[in-house]
Amino acid sequence: MSNTNMYNDYKRLLKVNGLPDITFHALRHTSLSFLLDMGTPVNTVQKLAGHSKASVTTDTYGHSLAHSEEEAAEKLEELITPLLSNCCQNEVFRKDTPIHGERHC
């Protein structure tokens, strides 16, 4: 299939299905952004994109990774909160029992 035929088929597919007329480049950018938003590892997206380094991917699609820091903090909180709750139920680690002079629960 020639590039011209593929391009024409692509444009026809968009039109017939009532989709916006976007370029292949925009489709590629959107697809890669969605993959990162869904948590696909950067090195996997890098390989799919054909980027030589992961830094090219992160520099180009950094906006899709902005939420990653917040999600990481939330996951750590989910992990640590039950541990602290269990810790604070133990008499040795009660709120009124300082460790190294500080309360921890």
Cα-based angle 105, 77, 72 (whole degrees, multiple of 5): 150
What is the tens place of the pLDDT at every residue in 35-81?
A: 988 888 999 999 999 999 999 998 888 777 766 777 778 888 888 88
pTM of the prediction?
0.58
CB 95 within 8 A of CB 105: yes
